[in-house]
Structure 1
Amino acid sequence: MSQFHRAFFFTSAYEERDLPSSTSIEIAFAGRSNAGKSSVINTLTNQNRLAFVSKTPGRTQHINFFQISAGKFLVDLPGYGYAKVPASVIRHWQSVLENYLQTRQALKGLVLIMDIRHPLKELDIKMLNWFSPTGKAIHVLLTKADKLSKQQANNTLREVDMILSTTYSNCSVQLFSSQSSLGVDTASAVINGWLDDK
Protein backbone atom coordinates (compact mmCIF):
# COMPACT_ATOMS: atom_id res chain seq x y z
CA MET A 1 0.00 0.00 0.00
CA SER A 2 1.29 3.46 -0.89
CA GLN A 3 2.23 5.59 2.09
CA PHE A 4 -0.13 8.24 0.67
CA HIS A 5 -3.11 5.96 1.29
CA ARG A 6 -2.61 6.37 5.05
CA ALA A 7 -3.08 10.16 4.83
CA PHE A 8 -5.46 11.81 7.25
CA PHE A 9 -6.42 15.41 7.97
CA PHE A 10 -4.13 16.90 10.62
CA THR A 11 -4.83 20.63 10.89
CA SER A 12 -5.63 23.85 9.02
CA ALA A 13 -3.81 27.16 9.17
CA TYR A 14 -5.11 30.55 8.10
CA GLU A 15 -2.29 32.63 9.57
CA GLU A 16 1.42 31.82 9.62
CA ARG A 17 1.29 31.51 13.40
CA ASP A 18 -1.13 28.59 12.98
CA LEU A 19 1.36 26.46 11.02
CA PRO A 20 2.28 23.27 12.89
CA SER A 21 5.78 22.99 14.31
CA SER A 22 5.84 19.19 14.54
CA THR A 23 6.79 18.53 10.92
CA SER A 24 9.99 17.26 9.34
CA ILE A 25 9.03 17.03 5.66
CA GLU A 26 6.22 18.80 3.81
CA ILE A 27 5.21 18.48 0.16
CA ALA A 28 3.01 21.38 -0.94
CA PHE A 29 0.34 21.33 -3.64
CA ALA A 30 -0.55 24.61 -5.34
CA GLY A 31 -2.49 25.68 -8.40
CA ARG A 32 -5.06 27.97 -9.90
CA SER A 33 -8.60 27.58 -8.61
CA ASN A 34 -10.37 24.80 -10.48
CA ALA A 35 -7.15 23.31 -11.92
CA GLY A 36 -7.91 20.04 -10.15
CA LYS A 37 -5.67 20.31 -7.09
CA SER A 38 -8.05 18.66 -4.63
CA SER A 39 -8.74 15.87 -7.13
CA VAL A 40 -5.00 15.26 -7.47
CA ILE A 41 -4.60 14.90 -3.69
CA ASN A 42 -7.62 12.61 -3.46
CA THR A 43 -6.35 10.47 -6.35
CA LEU A 44 -2.83 10.13 -4.96
CA THR A 45 -4.15 9.20 -1.51
CA ASN A 46 -6.89 6.94 -2.92
CA GLN A 47 -9.49 8.77 -0.85
CA ASN A 48 -12.61 10.39 -2.24
CA ARG A 49 -13.06 13.21 0.26
CA LEU A 50 -9.70 13.86 1.92
CA ALA A 51 -9.31 17.18 0.09
CA PHE A 52 -12.62 18.95 -0.50
CA VAL A 53 -13.59 19.05 -4.18
CA SER A 54 -15.93 21.89 -5.04
CA LYS A 55 -17.51 23.13 -8.25
CA THR A 56 -17.12 26.61 -6.75
CA PRO A 57 -13.49 27.74 -7.25
CA GLY A 58 -11.76 29.37 -4.33
CA ARG A 59 -13.28 27.21 -1.59
CA THR A 60 -9.91 26.20 -0.12
CA GLN A 61 -9.15 29.22 2.06
CA HIS A 62 -6.73 27.64 4.51
CA ILE A 63 -3.43 25.76 4.32
CA ASN A 64 -4.54 22.19 5.03
CA PHE A 65 -2.10 19.61 6.39
CA PHE A 66 -2.58 15.89 5.77
CA GLN A 67 -0.28 13.60 7.71
CA ILE A 68 0.94 10.45 5.96
CA SER A 69 3.40 9.26 8.62
CA ALA A 70 5.32 10.65 11.58
CA GLY A 71 6.53 14.12 10.63
CA LYS A 72 5.59 13.76 6.94
CA PHE A 73 2.80 15.84 5.46
CA LEU A 74 1.05 16.68 2.21
CA VAL A 75 0.04 20.35 2.28
CA ASP A 76 -2.92 21.70 0.31
CA LEU A 77 -2.43 25.42 -0.37
CA PRO A 78 -5.30 27.82 -1.21
CA GLY A 79 -6.14 27.98 -4.90
CA TYR A 80 -5.23 31.23 -6.60
CA GLY A 81 -6.52 33.35 -9.45
CA TYR A 82 -10.27 33.30 -8.91
CA ALA A 83 -11.73 36.78 -9.37
CA LYS A 84 -14.81 36.36 -7.13
CA VAL A 85 -12.69 35.99 -4.01
CA PRO A 86 -12.59 39.36 -2.16
CA ALA A 87 -9.47 41.44 -2.77
CA SER A 88 -8.62 41.46 0.94
CA VAL A 89 -8.63 37.66 1.00
CA ILE A 90 -6.45 37.51 -2.13
CA ARG A 91 -3.91 39.86 -0.53
CA HIS A 92 -3.88 37.74 2.62
CA TRP A 93 -3.35 34.51 0.65
CA GLN A 94 -0.56 36.05 -1.41
CA SER A 95 1.28 37.22 1.68
CA VAL A 96 0.94 33.93 3.55
CA LEU A 97 1.72 31.80 0.49
CA GLU A 98 4.78 33.81 -0.48
CA ASN A 99 6.22 33.60 3.02
CA TYR A 100 5.36 29.92 3.33
CA LEU A 101 6.91 29.00 -0.01
CA GLN A 102 10.07 31.02 0.49
CA THR A 103 10.83 30.46 4.17
CA ARG A 104 9.28 27.19 5.35
CA GLN A 105 12.21 24.99 6.38
CA ALA A 106 10.25 21.72 6.33
CA LEU A 107 9.04 22.29 2.76
CA LYS A 108 10.83 19.79 0.52
CA GLY A 109 9.14 20.39 -2.83
CA LEU A 110 6.18 21.93 -4.64
CA VAL A 111 3.67 20.09 -6.81
CA LEU A 112 2.24 22.75 -9.10
CA ILE A 113 -1.12 21.93 -10.67
CA MET A 114 -2.04 23.35 -14.08
CA ASP A 115 -5.05 22.55 -16.24
CA ILE A 116 -3.46 21.24 -19.44
CA ARG A 117 -5.87 23.37 -21.48
CA HIS A 118 -4.62 26.56 -19.76
CA PRO A 119 -0.99 26.08 -18.67
CA LEU A 120 1.52 28.70 -17.59
CA LYS A 121 -0.89 31.53 -16.88
CA GLU A 122 0.41 34.73 -15.27
CA LEU A 123 -0.19 33.55 -11.70
CA ASP A 124 1.42 30.17 -12.44
CA ILE A 125 4.54 32.03 -13.54
CA LYS A 126 4.36 34.17 -10.41
CA MET A 127 4.19 31.00 -8.29
CA LEU A 128 7.21 29.58 -10.10
CA ASN A 129 9.10 32.82 -9.60
CA TRP A 130 8.23 32.85 -5.89
CA PHE A 131 9.40 29.31 -5.27
CA SER A 132 12.17 28.60 -7.79
CA PRO A 133 14.80 30.80 -6.07
CA THR A 134 14.66 28.47 -3.04
CA GLY A 135 16.37 25.83 -5.16
CA LYS A 136 13.85 23.23 -4.01
CA ALA A 137 12.23 20.84 -6.47
CA ILE A 138 9.11 21.72 -8.46
CA HIS A 139 7.01 19.10 -10.24
CA VAL A 140 4.25 20.34 -12.57
CA LEU A 141 1.19 18.20 -13.14
CA LEU A 142 -0.71 19.03 -16.34
CA THR A 143 -4.10 17.87 -15.12
CA LYS A 144 -7.26 16.92 -17.00
CA ALA A 145 -5.10 15.40 -19.74
CA ASP A 146 -8.05 13.15 -20.63
CA LYS A 147 -9.84 16.26 -21.96
CA LEU A 148 -7.42 16.38 -24.91
CA SER A 149 -6.45 13.82 -27.52
CA LYS A 150 -3.24 11.91 -26.82
CA GLN A 151 -1.45 13.88 -29.54
CA GLN A 152 -2.70 17.24 -28.25
CA ALA A 153 -1.72 16.35 -24.70
CA ASN A 154 1.77 15.27 -25.72
CA ASN A 155 2.24 18.40 -27.82
CA THR A 156 1.29 20.60 -24.85
CA LEU A 157 3.60 18.59 -22.60
CA ARG A 158 6.53 19.18 -24.95
CA GLU A 159 5.78 22.91 -25.22
CA VAL A 160 5.49 23.38 -21.45
CA ASP A 161 8.58 21.25 -20.81
CA MET A 162 10.62 23.34 -23.24
CA ILE A 163 9.58 26.60 -21.56
CA LEU A 164 10.17 25.30 -18.05
CA SER A 165 13.53 23.70 -18.80
CA THR A 166 14.95 26.93 -20.19
CA THR A 167 13.92 29.02 -17.17
CA TYR A 168 13.52 26.77 -14.13
CA SER A 169 16.30 24.20 -13.79
CA ASN A 170 14.71 22.62 -10.70
CA CYS A 171 11.39 21.93 -12.45
CA SER A 172 9.95 18.78 -14.05
CA VAL A 173 6.57 18.20 -15.72
CA GLN A 174 4.21 15.37 -16.62
CA LEU A 175 0.69 14.60 -17.81
CA PHE A 176 -1.93 13.73 -15.18
CA SER A 177 -5.59 12.76 -15.11
CA SER A 178 -7.60 11.99 -11.99
CA GLN A 179 -10.35 10.55 -14.18
CA SER A 180 -8.21 8.01 -16.06
CA SER A 181 -5.40 7.68 -13.47
CA LEU A 182 -2.90 8.74 -16.14
CA GLY A 183 0.40 9.67 -14.53
CA VAL A 184 -0.55 8.66 -10.98
CA ASP A 185 2.35 6.20 -10.61
CA THR A 186 4.84 8.72 -12.00
CA ALA A 187 3.67 11.51 -9.71
CA SER A 188 3.69 9.16 -6.71
CA ALA A 189 7.26 8.10 -7.49
CA VAL A 190 8.45 11.71 -7.70
CA ILE A 191 6.83 12.70 -4.41
CA ASN A 192 7.99 9.52 -2.67
CA GLY A 193 11.51 10.37 -3.76
CA TRP A 194 11.22 13.76 -2.09
CA LEU A 195 9.80 12.27 1.09
CA ASP A 196 12.50 9.61 1.34
CA ASP A 197 15.45 11.83 0.40
CA LYS A 198 17.28 12.55 3.63
Structure 2
Amino acid sequence: MEEKESVLITQGRYVASAVKKEQYPETERPEIVFIGRSNVGKSSLINSLTRVRNLARVSAQPGKTQTINFYEVGLKWREEERRKIFYLVDLPGYGYARTGKEQRKIWAKFIEEYLLTSPRLLFVCQLIDIRHEPMASDCDMFQWLVEHHIPVLVVATKADKIGKNARQKNIAQIRRRFGVPDLSVLPYSSLKNEGRSDLLDVIGDSLIE
Protein backbone atom coordinates (compact mmCIF):
# COMPACT_ATOMS: atom_id res chain seq x y z
CA MET A 1 0.00 0.00 0.00
CA GLU A 2 2.75 2.42 1.02
CA GLU A 3 4.50 2.11 -2.39
CA LYS A 4 1.45 3.39 -4.24
CA GLU A 5 1.16 6.61 -2.27
CA SER A 6 2.42 9.63 -4.15
CA VAL A 7 1.91 12.02 -1.22
CA LEU A 8 3.66 11.20 2.06
CA ILE A 9 3.15 12.66 5.53
CA THR A 10 6.44 13.78 7.08
CA GLN A 11 5.20 15.12 10.42
CA GLY A 12 2.10 15.71 12.51
CA ARG A 13 1.92 17.60 15.78
CA TYR A 14 -0.66 19.35 17.93
CA VAL A 15 -0.28 23.14 17.88
CA ALA A 16 -3.21 24.88 19.57
CA SER A 17 -6.81 24.75 20.79
CA ALA A 18 -9.00 27.79 20.32
CA VAL A 19 -12.45 29.13 21.12
CA LYS A 20 -11.73 32.59 19.74
CA LYS A 21 -9.59 34.27 17.06
CA GLU A 22 -6.88 35.42 19.47
CA GLN A 23 -6.07 31.79 20.25
CA TYR A 24 -5.48 30.72 16.64
CA PRO A 25 -1.84 29.80 15.86
CA GLU A 26 0.36 32.81 15.11
CA THR A 27 2.06 31.25 12.09
CA GLU A 28 -0.31 31.37 9.15
CA ARG A 29 -0.58 28.23 7.04
CA PRO A 30 -3.13 26.78 4.60
CA GLU A 31 -5.97 25.09 6.51
CA ILE A 32 -7.93 21.92 5.79
CA VAL A 33 -10.90 21.43 8.09
CA PHE A 34 -12.54 18.29 9.46
CA ILE A 35 -16.12 18.49 10.64
CA GLY A 36 -18.80 15.91 11.40
CA ARG A 37 -21.33 14.65 13.89
CA SER A 38 -20.07 13.55 17.28
CA ASN A 39 -18.72 9.97 17.15
CA VAL A 40 -18.33 9.93 13.35
CA GLY A 41 -14.68 8.84 13.72
CA LYS A 42 -12.94 12.18 13.24
CA SER A 43 -10.09 11.57 15.71
CA SER A 44 -9.45 8.08 14.32
CA LEU A 45 -9.30 9.48 10.79
CA ILE A 46 -6.82 12.21 11.81
CA ASN A 47 -4.60 9.59 13.47
CA SER A 48 -4.87 7.32 10.43
CA LEU A 49 -4.11 10.13 7.99
CA THR A 50 -1.07 11.46 9.87
CA ARG A 51 0.06 8.04 11.13
CA VAL A 52 0.76 9.67 14.49
CA ARG A 53 -0.74 7.55 17.26
CA ASN A 54 -3.04 9.47 19.59
CA LEU A 55 -2.36 12.78 17.85
CA ALA A 56 -6.10 13.38 18.13
CA ARG A 57 -7.57 11.89 21.28
CA VAL A 58 -10.14 9.21 20.50
CA SER A 59 -12.92 9.39 23.07
CA ALA A 60 -15.74 6.98 23.79
CA GLN A 61 -17.71 9.98 25.00
CA PRO A 62 -19.37 11.84 22.10
CA GLY A 63 -19.07 15.62 22.03
CA LYS A 64 -15.66 15.55 23.76
CA THR A 65 -13.94 17.97 21.38
CA GLN A 66 -15.20 21.38 22.47
CA THR A 67 -12.50 23.53 20.93
CA ILE A 68 -11.09 24.16 17.46
CA ASN A 69 -7.91 22.08 17.44
CA PHE A 70 -5.03 22.89 15.11
CA TYR A 71 -2.52 20.22 14.06
CA GLU A 72 0.55 21.10 12.01
CA VAL A 73 1.05 18.51 9.28
CA GLY A 74 3.95 18.28 6.84
CA LEU A 75 3.84 16.44 3.56
CA LYS A 76 6.06 15.74 0.60
CA TRP A 77 5.62 14.23 -2.83
CA ARG A 78 7.36 10.94 -3.54
CA GLU A 79 10.50 11.40 -5.63
CA GLU A 80 10.18 15.19 -5.50
CA GLU A 81 11.86 17.85 -3.39
CA ARG A 82 8.59 19.69 -2.93
CA ARG A 83 7.30 19.92 0.65
CA LYS A 84 4.33 21.69 2.20
CA ILE A 85 3.15 22.35 5.74
CA PHE A 86 -0.52 22.95 6.53
CA TYR A 87 -2.91 22.98 9.46
CA LEU A 88 -5.38 20.18 9.84
CA VAL A 89 -8.20 21.84 11.78
CA ASP A 90 -10.50 19.67 13.87
CA LEU A 91 -13.87 21.28 14.68
CA PRO A 92 -16.22 20.21 17.49
CA GLY A 93 -18.77 17.56 16.54
CA TYR A 94 -22.22 18.90 15.78
CA GLY A 95 -25.64 17.46 16.58
CA TYR A 96 -24.93 15.89 19.95
CA ALA A 97 -28.05 16.17 22.10
CA ARG A 98 -26.46 15.90 25.54
CA THR A 99 -24.72 19.23 25.14
CA GLY A 100 -26.90 22.02 26.56
CA LYS A 101 -28.71 24.32 24.15
CA GLU A 102 -26.76 27.41 25.27
CA GLN A 103 -23.44 25.59 24.93
CA ARG A 104 -24.44 24.47 21.41
CA LYS A 105 -25.22 28.08 20.48
CA ILE A 106 -21.79 29.22 21.70
CA TRP A 107 -20.10 26.42 19.74
CA ALA A 108 -22.10 27.21 16.62
CA LYS A 109 -21.09 30.86 16.87
CA PHE A 110 -17.34 30.31 17.14
CA ILE A 111 -17.35 27.53 14.52
CA GLU A 112 -19.31 29.75 12.14
CA GLU A 113 -16.99 32.68 12.79
CA TYR A 114 -13.95 30.52 12.07
CA LEU A 115 -15.39 29.04 8.85
CA LEU A 116 -16.52 32.43 7.52
CA THR A 117 -13.45 34.49 8.40
CA SER A 118 -10.40 32.23 8.07
CA PRO A 119 -8.50 33.58 5.02
CA ARG A 120 -6.48 30.39 4.51
CA LEU A 121 -9.20 27.76 4.56
CA LEU A 122 -8.76 25.55 1.47
CA PHE A 123 -11.65 23.12 1.91
CA VAL A 124 -13.75 21.27 4.48
CA CYS A 125 -13.89 17.49 4.86
CA GLN A 126 -17.40 16.71 6.09
CA LEU A 127 -17.38 13.26 7.67
CA ILE A 128 -20.49 11.07 7.40
CA ASP A 129 -20.81 7.58 8.92
CA ILE A 130 -21.30 5.39 5.82
CA ARG A 131 -23.45 2.91 7.79
CA HIS A 132 -26.28 5.35 8.43
CA GLU A 133 -28.44 7.70 6.43
CA PRO A 134 -27.27 11.33 6.84
CA MET A 135 -29.20 13.08 9.59
CA ALA A 136 -30.87 16.49 9.39
CA SER A 137 -27.81 18.10 11.04
CA ASP A 138 -25.55 16.59 8.34
CA CYS A 139 -27.78 17.96 5.57
CA ASP A 140 -27.98 21.38 7.27
CA MET A 141 -24.19 21.57 7.61
CA PHE A 142 -23.64 20.57 3.97
CA GLN A 143 -26.19 23.14 2.75
CA TRP A 144 -24.66 25.83 4.95
CA LEU A 145 -21.15 25.18 3.54
CA VAL A 146 -22.47 25.23 -0.05
CA GLU A 147 -24.47 28.42 0.53
CA HIS A 148 -21.37 30.14 1.92
CA HIS A 149 -19.25 28.96 -1.03
CA ILE A 150 -16.94 26.88 1.16
CA PRO A 151 -15.52 23.93 -0.84
CA VAL A 152 -16.54 20.64 0.77
CA LEU A 153 -15.42 17.04 0.30
CA VAL A 154 -17.72 14.39 1.78
CA VAL A 155 -15.73 11.60 3.44
CA ALA A 156 -17.73 8.46 4.30
CA THR A 157 -16.12 6.99 7.42
CA LYS A 158 -16.14 3.43 8.85
CA ALA A 159 -16.16 1.95 5.32
CA ASP A 160 -14.75 -1.36 6.59
CA LYS A 161 -17.92 -1.98 8.61
CA ILE A 162 -20.13 -2.77 5.59
CA GLY A 163 -19.84 -4.80 2.38
CA LYS A 164 -19.19 -3.43 -1.10
CA ASN A 165 -22.84 -3.51 -2.23
CA ALA A 166 -24.13 -1.78 0.89
CA ARG A 167 -21.38 0.79 0.45
CA GLN A 168 -22.55 1.76 -3.05
CA LYS A 169 -26.16 1.87 -1.89
CA ASN A 170 -25.33 4.09 1.09
CA ILE A 171 -23.18 6.46 -0.98
CA ALA A 172 -26.15 6.85 -3.36
CA GLN A 173 -28.27 7.61 -0.30
CA ILE A 174 -25.86 10.36 0.83
CA ARG A 175 -26.01 11.93 -2.65
CA ARG A 176 -29.80 11.78 -2.62
CA ARG A 177 -30.12 13.31 0.86
CA PHE A 178 -27.68 16.10 -0.02
CA GLY A 179 -29.47 16.73 -3.32
CA VAL A 180 -26.32 16.40 -5.46
CA PRO A 181 -26.56 13.38 -7.83
CA ASP A 182 -22.90 13.50 -8.89
CA LEU A 183 -21.47 14.42 -5.48
CA SER A 184 -17.95 13.11 -4.93
CA VAL A 185 -17.96 10.87 -1.83
CA LEU A 186 -14.69 9.37 -0.58
CA PRO A 187 -15.08 6.11 1.42
CA TYR A 188 -12.53 5.87 4.27
CA SER A 189 -11.58 3.19 6.78
CA SER A 190 -9.33 4.39 9.60
CA LEU A 191 -8.88 0.79 10.69
CA LYS A 192 -7.51 -0.34 7.32
CA ASN A 193 -6.23 3.07 6.09
CA GLU A 194 -8.45 2.58 3.05
CA GLY A 195 -9.02 5.87 1.22
CA ARG A 196 -5.93 7.37 2.85
CA SER A 197 -3.89 7.80 -0.35
CA ASP A 198 -6.94 9.25 -2.16
CA LEU A 199 -7.48 11.83 0.59
CA LEU A 200 -3.76 12.68 0.64
CA ASP A 201 -3.88 13.25 -3.13
CA VAL A 202 -6.82 15.66 -2.74
CA ILE A 203 -4.98 17.51 0.04
CA GLY A 204 -1.76 17.59 -1.99
CA ASP A 205 -3.57 18.98 -5.07
CA SER A 206 -5.28 21.69 -3.00
CA LEU A 207 -1.92 22.80 -1.56
CA ILE A 208 -0.36 23.15 -5.04
CA GLU A 209 -3.18 25.19 -6.58
- Tell me which of 35, 60, 64 is aligned to 2:65: 60
Identity across matched positions, percent: 34
Alignment check: 8 A CA contact 1:110 1:139 kept: yes
- Tell me which of 64, 80, 90 is aligned to 2:94: 80
Q: Which amino acid aligns with 2:190?
A: S
For 1:17-28, list aligned pairs within 5 A.
Answer: 17-28=22-33
- Counterpart check, 1:47 vs 2:52: yes
C-alpha distance after superposition, 1:13-66 (max 9, x if no partner): 022332234223100000000000111111000112001100000110110001
For 1:16-165, list aligned pairs within 5 A.
Answer: 16-69=21-74, 72-164=86-178
Alignment check: 8 A CA contact 2:19 2:67 kept: yes
Determine the structure 2 residue equivalent to 1:176: 188
Structure 1 portions without partners, runs of 5+ = none
Alignment check: 8 A CA contact 2:139 2:177 kept: no
Q: CA RMSD in A?
A: 2.1
Structure with more of its chain in helix, by fraction: 1
In 2: Cα distance, 1:95 partner to 1:123 partner: 16
In 1: Cα distance, 2:85 partner to 2:46 partner: 18
User: Normalising by structure 2, what TM-score?
Assistant: 0.84
In 2: Cα distance, 1:123 partner to 1:165 partner: 15
Alignment check: 8 A CA contact 1:22 1:71 kept: no
User: Normalising by structure 1, what TM-score?
Assistant: 0.89
Bigger radius of gyration, 1 or 2?
A: 2
Structure 2 portions without partners, runs of 5+ = 75-83
C-alpha distance after superposition, 1:117-170 (max 9, x if no partner): 224211112211222134332111111111111110111113323554638x8x
In 2: Cα distance, 1:14 partner to 1:4 partner: 28
Q: Count residues in correspondence.
A: 195
Q: Which amino acid aligns with 2:166?
A: Q
- Tell me which of 7, 12, 16 is aligned to 2:17: 12
Q: Which amino acid aligns with 2:187?
A: L
Using the TM superposition, give the Cα deviation of residue 9 of structure 1 relative to its aligned residue in structure 2, in angstroms. 0.6
In 2: Cα distance, 1:165 partner to 1:111 partner: 18
